[in-house]
A and B are shown apart, each in its own frame.
Chain A
Amino acid sequence: MDTRFNKRILLILAILGVLLVIVFIADLFVGSSKIPATEIFRMLVTGKSDNQIWATIFFNFRIPKAITAVLAGAALSVSGMQMQTIFRNPLAGPYVLGISSGASLGVALLVLGFTSRITNQSIHYFGNWAQIMAAWIGAGLVLFLILAVSTRVQDIMTILILGILFGSATSAIVSILQYFSHQSMLKAFVIWSMGSLGNLSKEQLNILVPCIIIGLLFSFMFSKILNALLLGETYAKSLGVNIKLSRIMLFISTSILAGSITAFCGPIGFIGIAVPHIVRIIMKSANHYYLIPGSLIAGAIMLLISDIVSLLPGYDTVLPVNSVTALLGIPVVIWIILENKKISSPD
C-alpha cells in the first residue's frame, strides 16, 4: 500500500510536469501583439523567423516573461510552503505576513530615496544588485520581526494580524516616500508595485535565475528539517534539530526567494498561500520531499495561468498580474479559513 502511495505521488508530479510544459507553451502564444500560431510553432521548433519584429517580440519578450513567470511562481509557492511550516500556520505566506511589503520598502527606499543621487549609468548594472539586496534586507527584517513576536505569542491569529500590521506600517512608510519623491521616479515605482512579469531585462534575468535556484536548493536541502518542524519546536529539538540555525537558514532562503521576485516583479500576492494548500490537498501528504517539488511546479503553473488571464486573450488591454493572482488566490484563502474554523483557538 505504501508503494502505491509513493507511486500516486510520482504520478501527480509527472502530471504537474506535463501541465507545466503545456501552460508554458500556451503562455508563449498570447500577448498584446498578434503573432500567428503557425509562426510561433515555427519559432519554437526552428528558433528562427522571417519576420524580424515577431522574432524580437517572441525571443526578447515572450520567452523571458514566461521564464520569469515560472521562476516567480515556483519561488513564491516554495517560500509560502516553508513559512506555513515554520510558523505552523496555514495562512502564512510572503504576501500576507508582510514579507513582500518589507521587500517593497527596501526597493522604495532605494528607488525613491537614493537613486536620484546616483547617475543613471552607475545604477544600470550595479542598480540591479542594489535593488535585489534592498529587497532581501527588507524581507529579512520583517521576517525577523514576525519571528521575534511569534516566540512570545502562540496564538496563530495574533501573529497573522501583527504580520498584516507590519505590512501596513511598511506600506505607510512607502506612501510617505512616494509623497516626497520626484514625479518620474514615482511613476516607475507605482508601475513596479502593480507587479509585472514582463519588464525584466536580460541582465535582471541573469541575476534572478541563479538567486532563485540557490533559494530553491536551500529549500530542498532543508526538507528533512521542515518535516521535523511540522511537529513543533519541542519535538523537533528532541529529534536533534538545531532550531536556531535551521530557522536562520530557512529565513535566508525565504528572503532570497520572496525578496528577489519582489525586487524585479513587484509584490505578487496570494500565490504563496494558495498553491501550497492546493498541493497538500492533491498529494494528501505532509512530507516536504514531495510538497516542495509539488509547490515548485504547481506555483509555476498557477502564475503562468495568471499571466495568460491577465493578457485577456482577444483584447488589447493587459491587467496587472497582481490583481489576477489576488482574484484567483483569495477564494482559496477564504476556503482555507472556512475549512479550518479551529485555526484561531490555541490548543
Chain B
Amino acid sequence: MIMNMFDNILMIEKLNVGYGDSHISGKLVFSGINLRAKKGENIAVIGRNGIGKSTLLRTIGRLQKPLGGQIQIMGRDIRHYTRQEFARLISFVSTEIIRISNLRLLDLVAMGRYPYTGWTGKLDDNDHNIINDSIHLAGIDNLKYKSINEVSDGERQRAMIARALAQDTEIIILDEPTAFLDLPSKYEIIRLLNELSSIPRPQYYIAGNRQDMAYAK
C-alpha cells in the first residue's frame, strides 16, 4: 500500500463521546474531538477528572460506541474491522487490577497472542519468540514464572504492558496506566513507555492521566 496513507495511522474527526447507544438518548461527555496521529508518536491525553479521557480512549478501542463523528485507523473506519482484525490493531491496558491466583506472568503475556491463535490456543515458535521479546522489553524476565498475585503493583503493570506488546498491535491504548502506583513505579512505567516508543516497533501510545505526564518530563 501507499506509505502516505499510513502516515496518519489514527484519524479522528468531529468525534462525540459519551454513554448510551443512540445519538439522541446517549449522555454526551465530550464533543467535537479531532486528532491525527502518526507512527511512533507518543500521545498523552490530559485533563481533569470526569472530562471524558477514559471515555475517549474506550471509544477509540471500540469498547464503547461513539455518539457521532468518525474514527479511522489505517484509513479505514474502525466499525468496518472484524473483532479479530481490530484486536490486531489496538491493544488496551487499563487501571483494573488483575488478581488471579496461579496466573503466571508468562501465561498472562501469552494471552496477548489470542487474536493470532486458533481455537486450540496453541502457540507456535513465532508466538513464543514474540512473548519472550515482550517480556524482555518490559523488563520482567526474572519474574515470568511468578504468579500475578505475588508481584508488586508496578511489576504487574509492566506485565500488562508486556501483554499489550505481545498483541503486536499498531496502537496501544493505556488508560491511566500508572494510577495506584507509588511515585518510583509511576516514573519507571512512564520511562518504559518512552523507551518502547523509540524502538522500531509500529506502536504509538495513548496514555490518559495528567499526573503521569508531569512525571514523564
Contact = CB atoms under 8 A, between A and B. Distances in A.
A238 B111 contact: no
A223 B121 contact: yes
B97 A230 contact: no
Contacts of A1: 145
Contacts of A8: none
Interface string B178-208: 0000000000000000000000000000000
Given A227-B111, A228-B111, A235 B102 contact: no
Interface stretch (A119-127, A128-136, A279-287): A279-287
Contact of B106 (A2, A224, A227, A238): A2
Contacts of B86: 240
Nearest to A288: B121
Interface string A260-286: 000000000000000000001101111
Contacts of A241: 83, 114
B129 to A, nearest CB: 14
Contacts of B133: none
B114 A228 contact: yes
A230 B99 CA distance: 10
A235 B90 CA distance: 11
Contacts, number: 77
Contacts of B49: none
A339 to B, nearest CB: 9
A230 B114 contact: no
Contacts of B120: 224, 289
A176 interface: no
Given A224-B114, A228-B114, A239 B87 contact: yes
A239 B100 CA distance: 18
A232 interface: yes
Interface in A208-236: 221, 223-224, 227-228, 230-232, 234-235
B25 interface: no
B102 A280 contact: yes
A232 B98 contact: yes
A261 B86 CA distance: 40
B94 interface: yes
A230 B83 contact: no
A286 B94 CA distance: 21
A60 interface: no
A347 interface: yes
A239 B167 CA distance: 8
B98 A231 contact: yes
A227 B97 CA distance: 17
B61 interface: yes
A242 interface: yes
Contact of A227 (B84, B104, B121): B121
A239 B147 CA distance: 21
Interface centre among B83, B84, B114, B115 (most CB of A within 10 A): B114
Nearest to A88: B100
Interface string A1-13: 1100100000000
Contact of B83 (A235, A240, A284): A240
A284 B150 CA distance: 13
B209 interface: no
A284 to B, nearest CB: 5
Contact of B96 (A5, A221, A234, A242): A234
B22 interface: no
A235 B111 CA distance: 10
A238 B91 contact: yes
Interface centre among A239, A284, A285, A347 (most CB of B within 10 A): A239
B87 A224 contact: no
B100 A286 contact: yes
A202 interface: no
A155 to B, nearest CB: 15
Nearest to B91: A238
A237 interface: yes
B109 to A, nearest CB: 12
Interface of A: 1-2, 5, 221, 223-224, 227-228, 230-232, 234-235, 237-242, 280-281, 283-287, 289, 347
Q: Name the 9 nearest CB pairs between A and B, nearest first.
A: A240-B87, A238-B92, A286-B103, A224-B121, A239-B114, A240-B83, A240-B115, A347-B97, A286-B102
11 contacts: A224-B120, A231-B98, A232-B98, A235-B96, A238-B63, A238-B92, A239-B111, A239-B114, A240-B84, A280-B102, A286-B104
